[in-house]
């Protein structure tokens, strides 16, 4: 059972998300929140696996991400918003969000994204990924700088990061590379440390910026 928090100041949006997820017995909506303060408090009170947060709800969704990440580290925060501006995306990921989806995400894609987030996998809307790569390149954080951050990785870690960048789960990476899931998990932990990435989403974006997926 994946325990989900839905935080959005629009009641109709919360209801729609609830109806989509509750059609699948795998999900349990443990709480709803209409502002950032309620979202943070809900993660204190309830065991939440995945928190779906709107960015521009009262109290600031970015602030809520940082608070939840700091005080409820087991919770994976996924931004679900109508706004895909580059600066907003980078702020959310920098605050510790594990994913970023747009509100036009289809029901099946939303269900899949929540499952993946609960498993600790990066979740980014394709158009958001493209914007983020372009943004970092324009800032001079393009392939050369990103490649330098990969310099200390072992060949095995680079292979894992390349597959991580395509959105594969630990189990899928393990099958592709003929490794155990435990070994893949250890490699990812080392990758995050060596590349100074906060989470898998940042590592996946780094792999794309560095051209590791080319």
Domains and CATH numbers, the chain: 2-133 (3.40.50.2300), 140-209 (1.10.10.10)
- The overall average pLDDT reported for the chain is 86
Q: What is the band of 91 on the pLDDT scale with cuts at 50, 70, 90?
A: confident
**Percent with pLDDT over 90 in the chain:** 47
Q: What is the band of 174 on the pLDDT scale with cuts at 50, 70, 90?
A: very high
Q: Residue 141 pLDDT more than 60?
A: no
Measured CA to CA, the distance from residue 118 to residue 200 in angstroms comes to 12
Measured CA to CA, the distance from residue 157 to residue 210 in angstroms comes to 14
pTM of the model: 0.71
Q: Which of 16-30, 66-80, 92-106 has the lowest mean pLDDT?
A: 92-106
Mean per-residue pLDDT for 8-21?
95
Q: Residue 167 pLDDT more than 90?
A: no
201 vs 21: which has the higher pLDDT: 21
pLDDT of 84 reads: 63
Q: Residue 150 pLDDT more than 70?
A: yes
Mean per-residue pLDDT for 106-132?
81
Q: Residue 134 pLDDT more than 70?
A: no
pLDDT of 183 reads: 95
The token pair at 26 is 């795998």
pLDDT of 85 reads: 65
Residue pair 142/184 in contact by the 8 Å Cβ criterion: no
| Beta strands per DSSP E along the chain | 2-7, 27-33, 50-53, 76-81, 99-102, 123-124
């Amino acid at each position: 059972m994946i325990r989900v928090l839905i935080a959005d100041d629009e009641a109709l949006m919360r209801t729609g998300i609830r109806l989509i997820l509750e059609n699948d017995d795998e999900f349990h909506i443990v709480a709803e929140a209409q502002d950032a303060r309620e979202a943070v408090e809900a993660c204190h009170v309830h065991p939440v696996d995945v928190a779906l947060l709107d960015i521009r709800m009262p109290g600031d969704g970015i602030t809520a991400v940082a608070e939840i990440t700091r005080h409820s580290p087991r919770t994976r925060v996924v931004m679900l918003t109508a706004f895909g501006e580059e600066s907003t995306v980078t702020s959310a990921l920098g605050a510790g969000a594990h994913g970023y989806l747009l509100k036009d995400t289809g029901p099946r894609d939303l269900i899949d994204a929540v499952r993946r987030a609960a498993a600790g996998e990066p979740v980014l809307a394709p158009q958001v990924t493209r914007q983020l790569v372009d943004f970092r390149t324009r800032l001079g954080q393009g392939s050369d700088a990103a490649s330098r951050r990969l310099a200390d990785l072992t060949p095995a870690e680079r292979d894992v990061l390349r597959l991580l960048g395509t959105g594969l789960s630990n189990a899928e990476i393990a099958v592709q590379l003929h490794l155990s899931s435990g070994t893949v998990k250890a490699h990812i932990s080392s990758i995050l440390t060596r590349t100074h990435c906060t989470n898998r989403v940042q590592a996946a974006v780094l792999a794309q910026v560095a051209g590791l997926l080319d």
